[in-house]
């Protein structure tokens, strides 16, 4: 039996998260504009029930929001960074308060398992904690000058308005990765969420609005503009937005990158992934099966870090294939709000069509199906978005293996030497996440060396999926090259300035030039 909206997310959907039957998708943080654009409806892939409607933004709405953001920046940037960190700390505490209803809404609107919905909100909390500490550590360098009685140093200044374009698969966490760091750096944010998951964004905006009101802060620090690709084009082409952080497909990222570069702005891109795990003869097979299983089917294969390829040594190929196929028989596919479900639905029927087309293309190319896919029907599957995770035995030469399909499809590939395996791992256009399963030190170190993985993330004895917020997240090649979250990713949200101070009575000039004045 399908769950109703009230049964799925509880009364908190209305009362705690501040959502309505028809919502405005345009906010300056404290106020909601009526929104003059078209109305979009958010249907849950869980049961195809209408969750709510959203009025989208027009050009006029966008410009009004941008005016508020620019005005807020002049105030926000002058607040000391630790004080900005205090605001982010309060936002993190609000997320702790709303973790249950927000996590349920993420699960219901996007379709990921309830555990993953809660986990996504926890990622938001974690990045807030990280950002609070960072607010006291925006370090510059002191540099020795070649001129006597001179001092050089560098410092970091806020950029201004940061545009954030996020994707449906992590509807709130990736926004938080960007906004929490941008805020402590002194920037203000304008967020364009995926039109497939607008209500989670509105809920987050309502939560942040409580913090802004309680601290008597101006509107414009945290802005929301919901709409289709046209809103993304507005952000990308707007010279008032020095940085656009975009998460999504490689196709979308190339458009954003070209548009932003055309006005000499900055872009931070987190795009496609075609992630592989290399399984060597020295692998711990228990760890291998767990890592590959979660990597391939978690979020129904709709993570940018999802495992798409398993590159297995020929000496253990059949053994790994058998164990993995057996593990797939133990998966429970169903309502993600049921804690017993391992796999929820794909985001919509367009995603289902892509899944079906990919399997058909693989069969046409001659690939062998190890675990059959297909769309589930019957009670509990009425939305038409539930599919069976599929395992396909493929050849590295198949063109389809080089492409990312946002669905639970895993390709098995065979190798003979470790160099061959690394070359196979790198032989795709994308370069986000990678892993090797081995207890052999030499194999592990080779994988992490200059001649090893060419991805932004390289793991040993853990899967490709998931990342801790303490490390910089991002990838190479068609993944975009951006870095978010931990380490020194904060530098993307600031501008570097080199300063020289002369405290002598002389002014030495370059190349020994002198003026006899």
Residues paired with residue 243 on neighbouring β-strands, in sequence order:
162, 266
Task: Measure the CA–CA gap between 400 and 410, rounded to whole angstroms.
Answer: 12
CA dihedral for 98, 100, 103, 108, sign (positive or negative): negative
Reported pTM: 0.95
Residue 3 has pLDDT above 50, yes or no: no
* Residue 416 confidence (pLDDT) above 90: yes
CA 28/CA 15 separation, integer angstroms: 21
304 is catalytic: yes
Residue-wise pLDDT tens digits, 76-133: 999 999 999 999 999 999 999 999 999 999 999 999 999 999 999 999 999 999 999 9
CA 273-278-281 angle, 5° bins: 170
CA distances (Å), origin 504, targets 152, 153, 498: 14, 17, 19
Number of H helices, E strands in the chain: 15, 24
Share of the chain above pLDDT 70, in %: 97
- C-beta of residue 162 within 8 angstroms of C-beta of residue 178: yes
Model confidence at 168: pLDDT above 90:
yes
> Which residue do the tokens 């904060």 mark?
490
Rounded to a whole number of angstroms, the distance between the first and last alpha carbons of the chain is: 91
Going by pLDDT thresholds of 50, 70 and 90, the confidence category of residue 516 is confident
Question: What pLDDT digit, counting tens, does each position of 438-472 carry?
Answer: 999 999 999 999 999 999 999 999 999 988 999 99
Per-residue pLDDT band at 398 (split at 50, 70, 90): confident
Beta bridge partners of 412: 310, 393
Spot the catalytic one: 123, 219, 270, 404: 270
Query: Residues 336-360, buried b or exposed e (16+ Cβ, 10 A)?
Result: bbeeebbbbbbbbeebbeebeebbe
What pLDDT score does 467 carry? 85
The verdict on whether 270 is a catalytic residue reads yes
Lowest mean per-residue pLDDT among 178-182, 309-313, 464-468: 464-468
Q: What pLDDT band is residue 13 in, cutting at 50, 70 and 90?
A: low
Q: What is the mean pLDDT of the chain?
A: 95
Span 285-314, mean pLDDT?
A: 98
Q: Which of 128, 204, 304, 385 is catalytic?
A: 304
Instruction: Return the structure tokens found at 24.
Output: 């405005």
Cβ(277)–Cβ(307) below 8 Å: yes
Place of tokens 């253990």: 316
Q: Token pair for residue 414? A: 């065979």
Please tell me the predicted confidence (pLDDT) of residue 189.
Answer: 98
pLDDT (tens digit, 9 = 90+) per residue, 214-249?
999 999 999 999 999 999 999 999 999 999 999 999
């Amino acid at each position: 039996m399908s769950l109703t909206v009230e049964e799925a997310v509880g009364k908190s959907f209305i009362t705690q998260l501040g959502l309505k039957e028809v919502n405005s998708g345009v906010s300056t943080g404290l106020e909601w504009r009526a929104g003059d654009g078209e109305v979009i409806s958010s249907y849950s892939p869980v049961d195809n029930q209408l969750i709510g409607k959203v009025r989208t933004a027009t050009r006029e709405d966008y410009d009004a929001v941008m005016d508020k953001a620019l005005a807020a920046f002049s105030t926000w940037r002058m607040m000391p960074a630790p004080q900005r960190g205090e605001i982010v700390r309060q936002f993190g505490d609000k997320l702790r308060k709303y973790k249950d209803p927000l996590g349920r809404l993420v699960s219901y609107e996007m379709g990921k398992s309830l555990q993953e919905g809660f986990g996504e909100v926890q990622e938001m909390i974690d990045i807030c904690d990280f950002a609070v500490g960072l607010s006291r550590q925006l370090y510059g360098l002191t540099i020795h000058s070649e001129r006597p009685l001179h001092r050089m140093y560098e410092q970091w200044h806020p950029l201004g308005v940061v545009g954030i374009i996020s994707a449906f698969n992590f509807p709130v966490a990736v926004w938080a990765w960007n906004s929490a760091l941008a805020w402590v750096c002194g920037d203000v944010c304008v967020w364009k969420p995926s039109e497939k998951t607008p209500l989670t964004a509105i809920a987050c905006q309502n939560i942040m609005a409580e913090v802004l009101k309680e601290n008597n802060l101006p509107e414009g620090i945290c802005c929301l503009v919901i709409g289709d690709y046209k809103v993304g084009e507005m952000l990308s082409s707007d010279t008032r937005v020095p940085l656009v952080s975009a998460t999504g497909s490689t196709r979308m990222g190339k458009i954003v990158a070209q548009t932003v570069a055309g006005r000499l702005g900055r872009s931070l891109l987190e795009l496609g992934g075609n992630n592989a795990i290399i399984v060597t003869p020295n692998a711990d097979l228990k760890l291998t099966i767990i890592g590959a299983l979660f990597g391939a089917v978690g979020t129904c294969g709709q993570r940018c870090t999802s495992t798409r390829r398993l590159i297995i040594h020929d000496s253990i190929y059949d053994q790994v294939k058998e164990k993995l196929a057996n593990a797939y028989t133990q998966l429970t596919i169903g309502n993600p709000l049921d804690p017993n479900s391992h796999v929820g639905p794909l985001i919509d029927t367009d995603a289902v069509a892509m899944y079906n087309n990919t399997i058909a293309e693989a069969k046409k190319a001659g690939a062998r199906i190890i675990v059959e896919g297909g769309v589930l029907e019957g009670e509990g599957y009425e939305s038409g978005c539930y599919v069976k995770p599929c395992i396909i035995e493929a050849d590295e030469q198949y063109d389809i293996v080089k492409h990312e399909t946002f669905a639970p499809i895993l390709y098995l590939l065979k190798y003979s030497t470790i160099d061959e395996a690394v070359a196979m791992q790198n032989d795709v256009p994308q370069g986000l996440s990678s892993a090797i399963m081995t207890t052999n030190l030499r194999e592990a170190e080779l994988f992490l060396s200059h001649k090893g993985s060419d991805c932004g993330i390289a793991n040993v004895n853990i899967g490709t999926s998931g990342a801790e917020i303490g490390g910089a997240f991002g990838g190479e090649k068609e993944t975009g090259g951006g870095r978010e979250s931990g380490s020194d990713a904060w530098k993307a949200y600031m501008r570097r300035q080199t300063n020289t101070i002369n405290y002598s009575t002389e002014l030495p000039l370059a190349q020994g030039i002198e003026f006899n004045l």
